[in-house]
């Protein structure tokens, strides 16, 4: 009996969905606009519709679907199946999504946060598929984290573990929307790279990107990387500092959780070797000399599919499906 | 059949040992000098002798002993049962202690690091006995860490997890003997408190402890705490900074591992409320406002017995004994 699970990556802009078979292979995927502004009931309806039509669309029998897994942004509880709030999903406050969705579609549902789902996707089918202990850092707007210990997600007592982007890296450092100061993600997310460059230019530092910033143009981490490679001194300094902060984050992950592998994912890894090589270099320089056992640092391999595959794999783990 | 386990806390100065029954109760304990300077074979002989005589000394039948657990300082491997090196035990380099000891005494042996053993002791019989997820920070010469997730130690792929004292708290900060800079333990261990005060006095800052430092007298964290309570401004600042660094460490533990309880142990907790209250206060000020779920912060309750009880409990877990 071939049993599959549906994985869903619920974002503020798009809802991505796919079906994964018992061997963990993604059979196909699709994506629809979230239309988040129209509020919870509207998005919920789209979610139900997507789950109902997806099997037919991908040539899978409805009876072969064992369960649905969803990765969601923002504070939530896996244990309770509740979304407490989601910055990009207006009206999603204290929503018992797991049980409501399960009732609506007649299938068991597993809920987890999107960073955990992406980490579990890389663990089952991507960069981590040959290891048992892995930590993933997703470098995007912020820094999402996911920790896999002996093949299982470390969720923590309050379901808030692996919020690695909010570990404090610089005491009394840059303010974070979370209410803390000096969070790791204020120094090493894709957004932080661009923000720090814009701030430095605003403070009078010279850069080839200066005119664009002064004209109000939008700067991305990719612009900073490109300018750094073209020899822009300010961009080079900020890019290198970013890689060094990432390496410090990896040192801290090593000492706290001690995985075999640290996987870097998210938009920032588009920079390729310009990111990975300095991160590895700084890590080697910064980490202790007490033990030579250290995690490998690698890039994620599943790209945008990690969240869908991971959500499906988590549903399979909780409710049967892939073996 | 009453089955007990022996727990041993192997230190550079003393070897502590005790017997714990199947209910986790410490039946009795003893301590002998390690005589570490006489080298490995000598200390090993003392260890074997201690294990052979302990049951009789405590009125327990030898046949009621199911296994022996040992907590050891320095880099080691639980999986392999090997001590790689121990700063305070000259000659202990790459010692397969588990197998050698097991052969010598005819009992199964479990090896773990001393901070893990202490954490597991507090978890089974001390401050953490009613929780499932706990992190312990032992504030002494350095900062030892132990992480319990769902009732089991988080040891990590390389058996080096929970080295929380060596997470980097201040990038490019104070140098640490481990080879890193800015380690948590350089800011918040008992030793670091005294060191930082002595340095500040050396740099010309005024303190009631100045004359003692200038005369070459030894300063302890207790002296700093006492001077702070007596109104010494420098001591007050350093003590409060220490509490704040400890709170940052707790924030980072919350975001990484998300336990229900953080237990503070070691010499520094002798300061009592003068430590616990400001740590809790700073934690409340520093931690994010995204979720109100946060770990409790409490003091350890077992004192010096935590390592012995924990080592015995780990042996019971691995090899049967207490239920």
Instruction: Concatenate the DSSP letters of all residues of A92-143 into one string.
Output: -SSB-HHHHHHHHHTS-EEEEEHHHHHHHHHHHHSTTTT-SSEEEEEESSSE
Q: How far is CA B284 from CA A41, A162, B237, in A?
A: 36, 20, 19
**Taking residues A34-61, what's their average pLDDT?**
96
Q: What's the pLDDT at A88?
A: 85
- CB distance A178–B251 less than 8 Å? no
Please give the ipTM for the structure prediction.
0.95
Strands B65-72 and B14-20: unpaired
Which pLDDT belongs to residue B169?
A: 98
Per-residue confidence band for A24, with pLDDT thresholds at 50, 70 and 90: confident
pLDDT digit string (tens) for B120-167? Answer: 999 999 999 999 999 999 999 999 999 999 999 999 999 999 999 999
**Which residues, in sequence order, are CB contacts of B303 under 8 Å at separation 6+?**
none
The distance of A166 to chain B (nearest Cα, Å) reads 7
Residue of A nearest to B252 (CA): A167
CB contact under 8 A, A176 and B291: no
Per-residue pLDDT of B162-207, as tens digits, reads 999 999 999 999 999 999 999 999 999 999 999 999 999 999 999 9
Q: Do B154 and A257 touch (CB under 8 A)?
A: yes
Q: Which residues of A are less than 8 Å from B253 in CB distance?
A: 256
Tell me what the mean pLDDT of segment A267-282 comes to. 97
Distance (Å, whole) CA A193 – CA A197 = 6
pLDDT score at A323: 42
Backbone angle region of B151, left / alpha / beta, with phi > 0 → left and psi within -120 to 50 → alpha: left
Distance from the Cα of A51 to chain B's closest Cα (Å) equals 31
| Residue B322 binned pLDDT confidence (cut-offs 50, 70, 90) | very low
The tens digit of pLDDT for each residue in B203-253 reads 999 999 999 999 999 999 999 999 999 999 999 999 999 999 999 999 999
Contact, A97 vs A89, CB < 8 A? Answer: no
Residue B1 has pLDDT above 70, yes or no: no
Q: For B173, how many CA atoms within 13 A lie in the half-sphere containing its CB?
A: 20
For residues B6, B10, B13 and B17, what is the CA-based torsion angle, rounded to 10 degrees? Answer: -10
DSSP state of A263: E
In Å, what is the CA distance from B84 to each residue of A48, B94, B95, B96, B114? 56, 4, 6, 9, 14
pLDDT (0 to 100) of residue A3: 87
pLDDT tens profile A215-258: 999 999 999 999 999 999 999 999 999 999 999 999 999 999 99
Best interface-test mutation with B: which of A87, A94, A165, A171 has the largest number of B CBs within 10 A? Answer: A171
A63 SS3 class: helix
Residues B128 and B261 sit within 8 Å (Cβ to Cβ): yes
Residue of B nearest to A168 (CA): B252
Query: In this prediction, what percent of chain B has a pLDDT beyond 90?
Result: 93
- pLDDT given at position B2: 52
Question: Can you tell me the distance from the alpha carbon of A268 to that of A271, in angstroms, rounded to the nearest whole number?
Answer: 6
Interchain pair A259, B176: CB under 8 A? no
Q: Are strands A26-33 and A14-20 parallel, antiparallel or unpaired?
A: antiparallel
- For residue B154, the model assigns a pLDDT of 98
For the segment B261-288, the average pLDDT, to the nearest whole number, is 97
pTM: 0.95
Distance CA A186, CA A168 (A): 10
Q: Is A166–B288 a contact, with Cβ atoms under 8 angstroms apart?
A: yes
CB contact under 8 A, B178 and A286: no
pLDDT tens sequence across A158-217: 999 999 999 999 999 999 999 999 999 999 999 999 999 999 999 999 999 999 999 999
Instruction: Mark A71-107 as b/e (b = at least 16 C-beta within 10 Å).
Output: bbbbbbbbeebbbbbbeebebbeebebbebbbeebeb
User: Among B163, B166, B202, which residue's Cα sits nearest to residue B182?
Assistant: B166
In DSSP terms, B61 is beta-bridged to none
Question: For A288-317, how does the pLDDT look when each residue is reduced to its tens digit (9 = 90+)?
Answer: 998 889 999 999 999 999 999 999 999 999
- CB-CB neighbors (< 8 A) of B171 in chain A: 169-170, 244-245, 248
Kindly state the average pLDDT of the residues B2-13: 91
Burial of A141 (0-12, 13-18, 19+ CB in 10 A): middle
- Residues B39-78 pLDDT 10s: 999 999 999 999 999 999 999 999 999 999 999 988 899 9
CA–CA gap between residue B191 and residue B199 (Å, rounded): 12
Domains for chain A: give ranges and CATH numbers: 4-122+304-319 (3.30.420.40), 128-301 (3.30.420.40)
Asked if B159 lies within 8 A of A258 by C-beta distance, the reply is yes
In angstroms, the separation between the Cα of residue B147 and the nearest Cα of chain A is 9
- Name the residue of chain B whose CA is nearest to A286's CA: B180
Beta bridge partners of B20: B5, B26
Q: Which residues contact A195 (CB under 8 A, 6 or more apart)?
A: none
The beta-carbon neighbor of A287 closest among B162, B180, B244 is: B180
Cβ–Cβ below 8 Å for B157 and A295: yes
Contact A260, B156 (CB under 8 A): no
- pLDDT over 90, % of chain A: 93
Interface-testing mutation among A79, A83, A158, A175, with chain B (most B C-beta atoms within 10 A): A158
Report phi then psi at B139, rounded to 5: -95, 95
CB-CB neighbours of B59 under 10 Å = 9
Q: Would you place residue B3 in the very low, low, confident or very high pLDDT band (cuts 50, 70, 90)?
A: confident
Half-sphere exposure of A102 (CA within 13 A, CB side): 15
């Amino acid at each position: 009996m071939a049993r599959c699970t549906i994985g869903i990556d619920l974002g503020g802009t798009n809802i991505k969905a796919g079906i994964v078979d018992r061997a963990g292979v993604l059979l196909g995927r699709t994506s629809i606009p979230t239309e988040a502004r129209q509020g919870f009931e509207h998005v919920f309806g789209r979610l139900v519709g997507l789950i109902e039509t997806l099997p037919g669309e991908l040539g899978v029998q409805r009876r072969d679907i064992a369960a649905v897994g969803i990765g969601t942004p923002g504070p939530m509880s896996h244990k309770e199946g509740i979304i407490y709030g989601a910055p990009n999903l207006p009206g999603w406050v204290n929503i018992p999504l797991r049980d409501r969705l399960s009732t609506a579609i007649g299938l068991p549902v597993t809920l987890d946060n999107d960073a955990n789902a992406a980490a579990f996707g890389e663990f089952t089918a991507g960069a981590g598929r040959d290891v048992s202990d892995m930590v993933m850092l997703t470098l995007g707007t912020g820094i999402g984290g996911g920790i896999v210990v002996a093949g299982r997600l470390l969720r923590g007592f309050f379901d808030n573990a692996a919020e690695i982007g909010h570990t404090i890296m610089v005491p009394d450092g840059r303010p974070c929307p979370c209410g803390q100061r000096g969070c790791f993600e204020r120094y090493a997310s894709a957004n932080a790279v661009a923000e720090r460059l814009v701030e430095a230019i605003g403070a009078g530092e010279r850069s080839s990107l200066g005119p664009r910033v002064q004209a109000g143009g939008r700067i991305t981490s990719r612009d900073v990387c490109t300018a750094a490679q073209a020899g822009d001194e300010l961009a080079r300094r900020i890019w290198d500092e970013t890689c060094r902060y990432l390496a410090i984050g990896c040192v801290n992950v090593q000492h706290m959780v001690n995985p075999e592998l640290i996987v870097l994912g998210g938009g920032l890894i588009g920079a390729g070797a310009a990111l990975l090589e300095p991160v590895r270099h700084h890590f080697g320089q910064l980490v202790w000399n007490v033990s030579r056992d250290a995690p490998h640092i690698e890039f994620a391999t599943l790209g945008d599919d990690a969240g869908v595959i991971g959500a499906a794999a988590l549903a399979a783990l909780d409710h049967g499906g892939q073996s």
